[in-house]
Amino acid sequence: MNFFKTFLASCLGSLLAFIVLCVLGFFLLVGMVASFSDSNQQVVVKDQSVLHLKLDGTITENEIEDPLEDMPIPGIVSSTGLLPLKRAIKNAKDDSKIKGIYLEVGTLMGGYGVARELREALVDFRKSGKWIIAYSEYYTESAYYLASAADKVYLNPEGELEFNGLSVEVSFFKKLFDKLDIKPQIFRVGDFKSAVEPFMLDRMSTENKLQLNEMIEDIHQTILNDVSATRNIDGTRLREIADKMLVVNTATSVEYGLVDSLVYFDQVQAELRSRLGLSDKAKINLVKYGKYKRSLSNPSSSKNEIAVIVADGEIVSGKAQDGLIGSDTFAEELRKARTNDRIKAIVIRINSPGGSALASDVMWREINLASEVKPVIASMSDYAASGGYYLAMACDTIVAQPTTITGSIGVFSVLFDMSNFLDNKLGITFEEVKTGEIGELITMTRPLNSVEKNIWQKKTEEIYKGFTTKAAAGRAMPVDELMKVASGRVWTGTQAKERGLVDVLGNFETAVTLAAGAAGLGEDYRLKYYPIQKSFFEQWLGGLEESAETRMLKRELGVYFDTYQYLKKLKNYQGSQMRMPYELTIE
């Protein structure tokens, strides 16, 4: 009897759960239909409107159109596309219905190349005579850098502002590998090719400290110069404020001129009303970026197209995925652009720390072929290093931001010998049968023998020779001269231009203007971005599937899940790599 009671109770519970899910699904479907209906309608901007830019999250190069941006959906990580955002700001500059911008900057997830591009767009907006009001409860270093482009910068009275210079922290895994019985087998070329240092050392090498220190010093100086110009603070004084961290609370942020006033949200709203000439209780026509971009019409109906091919992420062989530049996908887009008569010029937008040497070379070849028949311009974002620079060096002209991290012309190969880890920790052993003296050259289940190690070192040196030879040809300089700035060393955009690795310091619009000029288009062109982004629902369904897999793995692996995630990532390091040192986060 108890069995039947339990069985019936379980059935009833399952039935109720099914009914609840159906009801929730129905309402979600209704919301989706309504959202799609709204998204298909062009937004009408009212007179006396303010463009509301709330930047608190990841900034990517491009973005997926999200018809449900106002509805929190599991499996979707919100992000804002840099290029569409800049287009909206540029349009608002000449939009008579937009009187100003209300800028809320929280935790800005992006490098200083992206931040500077956005900042330049805001500074250009102000040239129209319109105003920008920035407000936040907390400004990170990069968030303040962006906000400092505004007419007025406000901070919550109990908030915080970070302005104490830049730093880079590097994680080292040698001791972890020692504990796990994992042995990295490393082959490299170049004194500065320090991407493998975390696997073989427990602290920075002298060469790496040198390049990182010079790099962040150069980026910091660019930031200080930009802030000095918009905040009217002497550059030397600004350097002192940062170096000595004189801003320790909200009061000192006003005292030293970084912030105009300490105010609450309602006081910011009052100023917006005042600037718009509204009464105390009148509604402010705030237009969110997501809606405003739907009000924009196609900027050009020209038959001439400039193709913008976006290379955003780590370089791997195969098809592109979120956060990965797939060589097959990229090469296919290049071939299409090269043979399409409608496309008159190509801009390669690069935001990549590098990756697979083979995949980089596959894409380099397609860029080279394209440059033989039409102008190809490289536009560097936060990163265009190692494999990322490999793509740029095939272009006719290279444009970088002063804060771009580039160069890193070097190669390393690494294979992880996990045989002891698999045996001692997991109880898994392997045995290999081979027909000759040389076994599997890419393996994690045994150590390489001396002959195999020699093969890998020679292979790495050959790839490096090809990299430097092609880079020298692309930059029209003798190989000996290029070698002086190679060896895997990382440079800022400013440093790279001084050394002939970059042609022009500028932003994305600079690259587009150069492409249009080289193709003889003048102003008669339109931009189109490739690869075509996955649809919202493709991303959503993929995110749900990935979340389900992750939950299952977490349940099965328990405390070993983090180790599994790290070891899984190491597979991208297997073999020959053109990769920037570490995953640099400058704070």
Query: Which of 238, 226, 88, 266 is CA-nearest to residue 145?
Result: 226
Report the C-alpha gap between 495 and 373 in whole angstroms: 31
CATH topology of domain 305-429+439-579: 2-enoyl-CoA Hydratase; Chain A, domain 1 (3.90.226)
pLDDT in the model for residue 228: 97
Report the C-alpha gap between 286 and 267 in whole angstroms: 16
Q: Which of 193, 293, 344, 497 is catalytic?
A: 193
The whole-number mean pLDDT for each consecutive block of 10 residues of the chain, a chain of 587 residues, reads 48 51 47 46 82 87 59 54 92 95 86 93 96 96 96 96 91 90 87 77 87 93 97 96 95 97 96 94 92 78 93 92 90 96 97 92 97 97 94 97 93 89 91 85 89 92 93 94 90 96 97 97 93 56 50 60 57 62 59
Q: Write the CATH number of the domain with boundaries 49-163+247-295.
A: 3.90.226.10
Q: Is 386 a catalytic residue?
A: yes
Domain with CATH 3.90.226.10 in the chain: 49-163+247-295, 305-429+439-579
pLDDT in the model for residue 11: 52
pLDDT in the model for residue 57: 74
pLDDT in the model for residue 44: 82
pLDDT in the model for residue 557: 61
582: left (phi over 0), alpha (psi -120 to 50) or beta: left
- Omega of the bond prior to 531 within 30 degrees of 0, cis? yes
Q: Is 408 a catalytic residue?
A: no
Cβ contact 311:333 at 8 Å: no
Q: Annotate 293-314 with b (16+ C-beta within 10 A) or e (fewer).
A: bbbbeeeeebebbbbbbbbbbb
Q: Which of 386, 413, 419, 576 is catalytic?
A: 386
State the DSSP H helix or E strand holding residue 10, giving kind and residue range, or none if neither. helix 2-40
Report the C-alpha gap between 448 and 540 in whole angstroms: 43
Cβ contact 584:405 at 8 Å: yes
pTM for the predicted model, two decimal places: 0.82
State the DSSP H helix or E strand holding residue 11, giving kind and residue range, or none if neither. helix 2-40
Report the C-alpha gap between 447 and 415 in whole angstroms: 9
* 322: helix, strand or coil: coil
Query: DSSP of 62-92, one letter per residue?
Result: S----TTTTS--TT---EEEHHHHHHHHHHH
Cβ contact 110:382 at 8 Å: yes
pLDDT in the model for residue 30: 46
Terminal Cα distance for the chain, rounded: 66
Residue 135, φ and ψ in degrees, nearest 5: -145, 140
Angle CA(85)–CA(90)–CA(91) in degrees, nearest 5?
Answer: 100
